Structure formats: C-alpha cells, structure tokens
Amino acid sequence: MRLNNKVALITGAGSGIGLQTALRFAEEGARIVAVDINEENGRETVEQITQRGGEAAYCRADVSSAADCAEMINFAESTFGNLHVLFNNAGIMDSRDDDAESTEEEVWDLTMNVNVKGVFLGCKYGIPALRRAGGGSIINTASFVAFIGAATSQIAYTTSKGAVLSMTKELAVRHARENIRVNALCPGPLRTELLMKFLNTEAKKQRRLVHIPMGRFGEAREMADAALFLASDESSYMTGSELLVDGGITAAYVTPE
Ligand code: NAD
C-alpha cells in the first residue's frame, strides 16, 4: 500500500476533494485525521472510512483560526503518534464574489481568511509536527485560476489561489533540506458542491464548460488520485511544484469543436 504507516491530516474532509482524498488515502493504508468546520460531514467521513476497515478520527477546526489549527495538529499527534502528510485543502468560494467593483470588502476578507490564512496556519503548526516525524509531504489546494483569469468573475477567490501557489513555492524552498516537500494541487473546474453552488444556473455552467477541452467537469476522485501521488514517496523528488489536473483548461486557447 502506498501510504502504509503514514498519518495524514486533511482539511475540508467532509465534502468534495477532501472527502474523496480521505477515502483514497485510507484505502492506501494511511490513518486519517479528518478536519472540517462542518461536524456532521466530518464525522460521516470518519464513519465511511471505519466501515471500510480503515482508521480515522474527526477533529473540528475552522482553518482560519490559529487556536483551531494548533489544536488539530496536537490532535493528530496525540491520536496517532505522528504526522506525515498535511493536506491543506479547505477552501471557500463565496457566491457574492464578483469583479473588483462589486465585491464587498467582507467577502474579500472572508475568502482570504479561509483560503490563504488557513493554509498559512496549517503550515505554521503542521511543519514542526512533520519535522518531528522526520519529514513529510504538504499539499496545498490551489486552483487552475492561479494561472488564468476565470470567465465568471471571482476576484477574491482567484487572488487567494494565486497566493496559495506562491506560498507553496516559498515554503518548499525553505523546508527542502528538512525532508519536507510542499506542492500545490491545482484542480480544474469540478463537479463538487463548491463550484456547482457558484455556477448556479445552466448558463453559468455552460459558460465554464465551453473552455474545457475535455468538455466535462472533473470529479473529486480524480483529484484524490493526484493528491495520493503527491502524498506518497512516488513524488519524492518533487517540491515547490504545481500539479495541474484540469481537463486541459489551462492549455486551451480555443476549445476544439
Ligand atoms: P467543498 O465545498 O465540496 O468542500 C470544502 C470543505 O471545506 C467543506 O466540507 C467545508 O465544510 C470545509 N470548510 C469550509 N470552510 C472551512 C473552514 N474555515 N475550516 C474548515 N473547513 C472548512 O469544496 P471542494 O470542491 O472539495 O474544494 C476543496 C478545495 O479545492 C478548495 O480549496 C477549493 O477552493 C479547491 N478547488 C475546487 C475546485 C472546484 O471546481 N470544486 C477547483 C479548484 C480548486
């Protein structure tokens, strides 16, 4: 198994990419700390893992809170002894997020607090734990919008994901000689609750789909497979990189008929 004897903490584990990754990592032998602000969904993830014979524990945390992030890392070490994989995946896309003129300051601040500060805090408290374990892998969820502007305006979200990508590179350089690898997973548009709520009309969905060479939204499970590669020793010479898993959207100038 590809993650045997590893302990992995996943934020946003109650839904979408986080849920599918928790299930996938557990299948590969990892013990999972499922972190989510939504307690019901987080506990449901743990339930699904244990039903399949895996090992997991739920920890409630709001990733934008320093105290919660310190606690989730303590929880991981006190529950499973060590921490080897930190997947800073929780993120939000506010339906009020729009262009610069119409987006409220409150929406900007909320998005930055969860999407950017959340990753920073995960690393701030998680890195010492990975160091204590002799090294490990950090995966930060950015997005394809860190590379190109989105067709449907989302100024705060796009900016937040650019920041996640830069932060990832900075962290990777700093911690490379400590055997701590840091990479960014950059999903394309996915058929998860987060995006489907944002693209809440058929017209908005089509507006996005038209740009994707593969002509479909991605699945959270497809991101979980990519995260598994970054978490495992198979990516041992990879740090400071972005892994784009996006149906070709970032490569497209015009979309094939
Ligand atoms: P999702 O909404 O299905 O899941 C996100 C989870 O994060 C939810 O369970 C939610 O409760 C949790 N969460 C939200 N705020 C939190 C907080 N403050 N503290 C702790 N947990 C919190 O979304 P998803 O599509 O699985 O997205 C996961 C990540 O992937 C996000 O960072 C998102 O920006 C990114 N992403 C998604 C897409 C997409 O198309 N869905 C594309 C690119 C990147």
DSSP code of 200? -
Please spell the DSSP secondary structure of 188-254, one letter per residue.
Answer: -SBSSHHHHHHS-SHHHHHHHHTT-TT-S-B-HHHHHHHHHHHHSGGGTT--S-EEEESTTGGG-SS
Please indicate whether residue 90, judged by its CB atom, sits closer than 6 Å to ligand 1.
Answer: yes
For residue 180, what are the contacts with CB-CB under 8 A and spacing of at least 6? 127, 130, 131, 135, 136, 137, 138
CB atoms within 10 A of CB 89: 28
> Is the C-beta atom of 16 inside 6 A of ligand 1?
yes
Tell whether 234 is covered by a domain: yes
- Give the nearest ligand 1 atom to 38 CA: 11
For residues 188-207, average pLDDT: 89
Distance 252 CA to ligand 1 centre (A): 25
Indicate whether 2 belongs to any domain: no
pLDDT at 172: 99
Tell me, using a 6 A CB cutoff, whether residue 10 lines ligand 1: no
Q: Which atom of ligand 1 is nearest to the CA of 115?
A: 32
Q: 52 lies in a domain?
A: yes
Secondary-structure percent of the chain, ordered helix, strand, coil, rounded to 5: 50, 15, 35
Distance from the CA of 177 to the center of ligand 1, in angstroms?
Answer: 30
106 in any annotated domain: yes
Instruction: pLDDT band for 179, please (50, 70, 90 cuts).
Output: very high
Whether 181 is in a domain gets the answer yes
257 domain-assigned? no
Residues annotated as catalytic (active site), given as ranges: 157
What digits encode the pLDDT tens for the residues 22-66? 999 999 999 999 999 999 999 999 999 999 999 999 999 999 999
Domain containing residue 198: 7-252
Is residue 35 a part of any domain in this protein? Answer: yes
Written as six digits, the tokens of 96 are: 């009020």
In angstroms and rounded to an integer, the radius of gyration of the C-alpha atoms of the chain is 17
Tell me the mean pLDDT in the region 71-86.
Answer: 98
What average pLDDT does range 114-139 have in this prediction? 99
What is the domain-level CATH number for residue 76? 3.40.50.720
What is the pTM assigned to this prediction?
A: 0.98
- Domain total of the chain: 1
Ligand 1 pocket residue status of 37, Cβ below 6 Å: yes
Does residue 183 lie in a domain region?
yes
Q: What confidence score (pLDDT) does residue 199 get?
A: 87
Query: Which amino acid is located at 175 in the chain?
Result: H
